[in-house]
Structure 1
Amino acid sequence: MPTPITTSEVAKRVVNHEETLILDVRNTDEFDDWKIEGGKVEVINEPYFNLLEGIDPVADKLDKNQEVIVVCAKGGSSQMVAELLEEEGGFTKVFNLEGGMKAWSEHLEPVKIGDLSDGGSIHQFVRLGKGCLSYLIESNGEVAIVDTNRMIDIYEDFAKDKDVQIKYLIDTHLHADHISGGRELAEKVGGTYYLPPKDATEVTFDYEALEEGNDIVVGNTTVRAQPIYSPGHTLGSTSLIIDDQYLLTGDILFVKSIGRPDLAGKAEDWVGDLRETLYSRYKELSDDLVVLPAHYSFAEELGNEGSVSARLGDLYQRNKGLQIEDEGVFRKMVTENLPPQPNAYQEIRETNMGKINPENEKQREMEIGPNRCAVHG
């Protein structure tokens, strides 16, 4: 029988940049839209229906002595293909990804970013299957979590293991690509949920305003989450400076791209805000701040230790979205060079507003697929 392999085990291989061979047996259109990626990940796509009569279509592409991880949508078809590889092909190192891409979409991999000046720390939770990044800031027994994912158990378990209390849940903006777990977790632990008021005009629940001038003190007073109004991706988008070291940019600035201004249908209206934030507001900040975005788009953005970050001054040197002097050219790029909208983005926005509350299985389906929050120059 093929050996089952968990999303956690595959994630460790990806973030540690281990040689990994994946046979993805989903339909080609699904594969082309979204796949497991990493610096040393090789992926071969051969749809399951091509293998029903035998493994000939992949026999020449695979080495029998190589480890092969077989992947499908939910883990069923891949199990059968993995068995075929063993029984018919004589492969001895075959693994089946438990839960398939559906489970991969939900895995969060915690990676330590660094220590804070008072002895606290900041961790990045990397959602490898969707490119989402969230953050846990811990200081003197207190925790703030920024851009919380829907799968809240991992944050609770992490805090429990560290014996710290989750007190603040912060969304840098109203998300359109994934369902926020911030409000749910705040209610569960008795914490405070923050949201920028300009993104909250249609929400159906109470929240604390995340706005410039209202610092959030986490633990010792030396650790401040200092909100900076930075519109452009959304009207309310707000960045955070943590401990004068880290700049949490939400979906405004990424390592290799910039935020898109159109997920509320406001590209023409918000492109000026986006440029103002990137070319003026952020320019006034220290070049030495470490940028920690809410998403990444490319496997090469994962650093050696599996985290995604970059020095702000370096991004002004190498991120093409920050080097367009002509405002007209910039406007054209961010209004005409847009990827497809994220899957079910309108339903996701309404869920994050509290207008609808889909069943859990429906929420999982809504989130399937890559994030598409960036403009690539």
Structure 2
Amino acid sequence: MGMKLISAKEVTEKVLSNNALFILDVRNEDAFSDWKIEGKQVEHLNVPYFDLIDGVDEIVDKLPKNSEILVVCAKQGSSEMVGEHLVDAGFEDVFVLEGGMKTWSEYLNPVKIGDLKDGGSIYQFVRIGKGCLSYFIESNGEAIVVDSTRTIDAYIDFAKEKNVTIKHVLDTHLHADHISGGRLLQERTGATYYLPPKDAEEVQFSYEPLVEGKDISVGNTKVKAEPLYSPGHTIGSTSLVVDGQYLLTGDILFVESIGRPDLAGKAGDWADDLRNTLYDKYKQLSDELIVLPAHYGNASELGKNGQVHAKLGDLFEKNAGLNMDEKEFRRAVSENLPPQPNAYQEIRETNMGKITPNNDEQSEMEIGPNRCAIHG
């Protein structure tokens, strides 16, 4: 059968359907251990490309004989060379990830979360290669996009497909692990761009303040997005209660963890804010709200269609970050944290409009996993 290119979309479908997938990852060991394609039925072999330049004889006995092999590298070229060696060695089902891990990092998979009471729906865009989650809320011909990634064509194409106009774009906080597509969406669609003002004191552009008490409506059914000031991950972090059913938590609360308060160097100061938000403010909300976070950390958090969500009441029972005494909590959010996101200071400065890296530089800055939770 030879070697075939396979898209990030097709690989996502394989991962989400829990098909067994064998991956030969030919990036160097550091890149591989930092970040890889993950899934419940994914098996890896990591052998750097330089060890395979002359052929694959040394690893033949480590490869499955009668099943598909997916070869991945950073940008596609190296994996094609290795793929050809595999075909020459007699392997028949060889696939190469089109665009490599760069494309995997950027692919967005839209999945419907549910309906709104007066018509319309809410969708989650899952960036499976990075664990970022963004949202598209549409009703009566209008839409809001929340926590957009920089690959904004996905939202624009989706709006065309649904025949709706993107009217509002907002970020729940100033992101430190990925570059926001908020301003770009504003430029391309004419939408209003909202930011929490306490996170925007140094931004170099104009925006509408995202503040408690100033609801945002979409469509003539007045689906309300009600901002709820919820500091802790950042000083401006603001959650959204949408349609009285959904709680968009940004990077404050995840399904299996909680946000980290240290990405602006303020772990000590913000630990109390974070605890207050999670243990007091969120406690006053309905247990029935569906929590929709801005990230997930593990493939285990993905539902059967690839969506990430949970009832708030269930998280108060099961999420360890919501069940600690004060001392334990302070220790958890300030000690033994995972490494900070790659290039996070430059990402914050880009999101403030202080620096304007080109596309390749932005892609490079974002390579790697998200690290917005206190544990992965």
Is the 2:296–2:308 Cα contact (8 Å) retained in structure 1? Answer: yes
Paired position in structure 2 for 1:153? 153
User: What amino acid is the match of 2:131?
Assistant: G
Is the 1:246–1:289 Cα contact (8 Å) retained in structure 2? Answer: yes
Paired position in structure 1 for 2:178? 178
Paired position in structure 1 for 2:42? 41
TM-score, L = length of structure 2: 0.98
CA distance in 2, matches of 1:65, 1:5: 18
- Per the alignment, do residues 119 and 86 of structure 1 end up closer, same or farther by CA in structure 2, a change over 3 Å counting? same
CA distance in 2, matches of 1:39, 1:290: 24
CA distance in 1, matches of 2:57, 2:315: 47
CA distance in 1, matches of 2:14, 2:236: 37
Shift in Å, 1:337: 2.4
Per-residue Cα deviation, 1:71-126 (whole angstroms, up to 9, x for no partner): 001101110111111112x1110001111101111100111111111120011000
CA distance in 2, matches of 1:140, 1:17: 36
Paired position in structure 2 for 1:244? 244
Greater than 3 Å deviation, 4+ residue runs: none
Paired position in structure 2 for 1:318? 318
Shift in Å, 1:222: 4.3
CA distance in 2, matches of 1:190, 1:297: 33
- 1:168-317 to structure 2, matched below 5 A, reads 168-317=168-317
TM-score, L = length of structure 1: 0.98
- 1:1-20 to structure 2, matched below 5 A, reads 1-20=2-21
Is the 2:139–2:221 Cα contact (8 Å) retained in structure 1? Answer: no
User: What amino acid is the match of 2:80?
Assistant: Q
- 1:104-119 to structure 2, matched below 5 A, reads 104-119=104-119
CA distance in 2, matches of 1:201, 1:344: 21
Is the 2:142–2:219 Cα contact (8 Å) retained in structure 1? Answer: yes
**Gapped runs of 5+ residues in structure 1?**
none
Per-residue Cα deviation, 1:227-265 (whole angstroms, up to 9, x for no partner): 000000000000001111110000000011100001111
SS at 2:86 equivalent: helix
Is the 2:140–2:221 Cα contact (8 Å) retained in structure 1? Answer: no
How many residues were matched structurally? 375
Shift in Å, 1:55: 1.6
SS at 2:62 equivalent: coil
Shift in Å, 1:32: 0.4
- What is the percent sequence identity of the aligned residues? 67
Paired position in structure 1 for 2:92? 92
User: What amino acid is the match of 1:4?
Assistant: L
CA distance in 1, matches of 2:272, 2:355: 31
CA distance in 1, matches of 2:255, 2:58: 38
- Per the alignment, do residues 18 and 119 of structure 1 end up closer, same or farther by CA in structure 2, a change over 3 Å counting? farther
Per-residue Cα deviation, 1:39-85 (whole angstroms, up to 9, x for no partner): 22222211112222332332122222101110001101110111111
SS at 1:224 equivalent: strand
Per-residue Cα deviation, 1:175-201 (whole angstroms, up to 9, x for no partner): 000000011111211110000000000
Is the 2:186–2:192 Cα contact (8 Å) retained in structure 1? Answer: yes
Paired position in structure 2 for 1:367? 366
CA distance in 2, matches of 1:142, 1:44: 46
User: What amino acid is the match of 2:18?
Assistant: H
CA distance in 2, matches of 1:36, 1:57: 24
SS at 2:305 equivalent: coil
Shift in Å, 1:21: 1.5
Is the 1:50–1:57 Cα contact (8 Å) retained in structure 2? Answer: no
**Gapped runs of 5+ residues in structure 2?**
none
